[in-house]
A and B are shown apart, each in its own frame.
Chain A
Amino acid sequence: MPKITIPLGPQHPALKEPENFMLVLEGERIDKASINLGYNHRGIEKACEERTYIQDIYLLERVCGICSHSHTSCFVGCVEEIAKVEIPERAQALRILMGELERAHSHLLWLGVAAHEIGFDTLFMYTWRDREHVLDCLELISGNRIHYAMNIIGGVRKDINAKQKNEILKRMDILEERTNYYVKLITQEPTILARTQNVGLLPTQEALKRNAVGPTLRASNVKSDVRKDDPYLMYDKLDFKVITADSCDVFGRVFVRVFELIESYKIIRQIINYLPTGAIAVKVPWKIPEGAAVGRYEAPRGEDIHYVKANDSIKPERVKVRAPTLANFASVRYMLEGGYLADVPIVIAAIDPCMSCTDRSLVLDGEKTSSYSWNDLRLMGIEFYKKKGIDFSKVKI
């Protein structure tokens, strides 16, 4: 049978974001898949170097609209480590509260999108309706639905009061009831089972070899969660479980995320009920002393890594972001190859891809040990884009 190649994206009804997959098909089966990224590359890392630490918080928040709090928490965590400040316990708790609300909103959003990809639009509408409860909580605390801007260097920006606490607890009860319904749905509904079981298989060994992270890795039966393995903030004092699944398929990924929702509600309740007293922020000087730090954070999609290098000024010298989706893309290729064309949307959606997080520039060079200067990188960028028909040489930087 002759092989045909079909492109998927950058604009495609099944993809919510611009990315491109080239699929080589043999009949209905996928023989080879290659991934083309970079449509969302904006140049945030470079922009960070030109702005102050305070401005960078708001810029890095806009790396991704879904896990915005994760990126800022990771970044301010690094800066606080370099500046050697300990943030108050209440600020730590509030950061966790926002982080878990964010996880709940992200997982509900994902469940809806995944349902949409398999043509189950009723579930899509259900979850997005329920997700509004989480967004209301976030708006109640911070004043905004998407970019909460809660983190500042040295703590958080806003405190919560008793009325807000009650409201959040009330919403958690509603959400818990709804999530229990989803648990029943995903484990019993025949259409969901038929579309997700034994689809997009990623055995444990492959997942480890390809450095998968987050729910994708946990669904391949690896107990890995930064919140437990390398606790930050005050996660070591909280009681929650790391959810894993041993089916290694799309069903496992749905299972892990839905049960993580319940764990998130549990954490939110603990935080609200045992909120430490005290200040919500400490003062940190604008100038950050020389040093470098790496931060790890369990974002809704997996481990998020930030690297910050400071040089005793008000602007960072270098900021590097490694978002979880980038780590998961190596597995997508494996999951797609050998599968059916009809399963492509759900297999891609199963890692919960976030392109705006992922599209950073990256040089993979196994041989070279010395570092690249900005000029070298710029020349490489111009060469790279020339092949795509875009002229970067006239762009002023």
Chain B
Amino acid sequence: MKIITKLITWSQMKSPWIIHFNSGACNGCDIEILDALTPKYDLERFGVLLKGTPRHADVLLVSGSVSRQIHKRLVRIYEQMPNPKFVVAIGACACSGGVFDGCYSTLGGVDKAIPVSAYIPGCPAKPEAIIDGMIKLLASLKE
């Protein structure tokens, strides 16, 4: 491994910066993501920091079955993120379409639009599950 990639992986593992995007979710997963960042669960103790712009982020947390109108935006946000980047699909909707699978205005699942590195199921995914998923993603970076 080149020294520079090693350095990037090391810093991403220690402090991944995340951005959250709602691609047609019911809000249930979104408030659970925010919950994971607030005092009771406090994802920040693992160095995870929420950012406002995709250009600063390493990990994109997507919740929601991708609606047709948001599809292009989601792809654009993904493209704006610097490499190496990861996508985490949060909730049953983001994993496979969930209850909205088959609705005319949804694509059903984030992986239909952009590549996904981790899936966190649940409707909504509990904060504990989100933390677990994030930690597993970080652990997989080591390899």
Contacts and interface: CB of A to CB of B under 8 A. Distances in A.
A388 B26 contact: no
B70 A10 contact: yes
A324 B31 CA distance: 19
A337 to B, nearest CB: 25
B73 A10 contact: yes
Interface string B19-38: 00111111111111011001
Nearest to B93: A62
Nearest to B25: A356
B105 interface: yes
A358 to B, nearest CB: 11
A60 to B, nearest CB: 10
Which range contains the number of A residues in contact with the other chain?
35 or more
A65 B124 contact: yes
A147 B38 CA distance: 20
B28 A65 contact: yes
Contacts of B38: 112, 124-125, 128-129
Interface of A is mostly: loop
B72 to A, nearest CB: 8
Interface string A336-357: 0000000000000000001010
B52 interface: yes
Nearest to B124: A146
B24 to A, nearest CB: 5
B30 A11 contact: no
Contact of B100 (A47, A68, A145): A47
A214 to B, nearest CB: 17
Contacts of B30: 16-17, 65
A356 B26 contact: yes
B34 A128 contact: yes
Question: Which of the listed residues A41, A46, A63, A129 has the most CB atoms from chain B within 10 Å of its own CB?
Answer: A41
Interface stretch (B1-9, B61-69, B109-117, B130-138): B61-69
B49 interface: no
A20 to B, nearest CB: 10
Q: Which 7 A-B pairs have CB atoms at the shortest separation, nearest pair first?
A: A65-B28, A13-B52, A128-B38, A65-B27, A43-B103, A43-B105, A129-B39
20 contacts: A11-B54, A18-B24, A41-B69, A42-B100, A44-B100, A46-B104, A47-B100, A58-B99, A59-B99, A65-B25, A66-B27, A66-B31, A128-B39, A129-B38, A145-B126, A146-B124, A147-B124, A385-B69, A390-B69, A390-B72
Given A46-B103, A59-B99, 5 more contacts: A40-B25, A42-B24, A65-B27, A65-B29, A129-B38
Interface of A: 10-13, 16-18, 38-44, 46-47, 58-59, 62-66, 68, 109, 112, 124-125, 128-129, 132, 135, 145-147, 354, 356, 385, 388-390, 392, 395, 397
